[in-house]
Amino acid sequence: MKLSVLIPTVGDREDMLAQTEAGFRATVPGCEILIVYGYTWGEGLNQLVGVAQGDYWYTSCDDTVPLPGWFEKARSFTDDHLTPCPRYLNPDGSPLKPGWDDMPHGEPVDWARAYLLTPAIYNEVGPFIDATWYCDIDYSERLVRAGYPILACDGFAFTHLGGERSWRTNEVDVREEAAYRESHRRQGIV
Query: Tell me: the pLDDT tens digits for 3-21?
Result: 999 999 987 789 999 999 9
Nearest to 153 by CA among 96, 115, 97: 115
Looking at domain 3-187, its CATH architecture is Alpha-Beta Complex (3.90)
User: What are the domain boundaries of the chain?
Assistant: 3-187
Query: What predicted TM-score, i.e. pTM, was given to this entire model?
Result: 0.90
Calculate mean pLDDT across residues 71-99: 96
Summarize pLDDT for 17-60 with one digit per residue, the tens: 999 999 999 999 999 999 999 999 999 999 999 999 999 999 99
Closest to 144 measured CA to CA, from 76, 69, 85, 60: 85
User: What whole-number distance in Å separates Cα of residue 42 and Cα of residue 36?
Assistant: 11
CB 63 within 8 A of CB 91: no
* CA–CA dist 124, 146 (Å, integer): 8
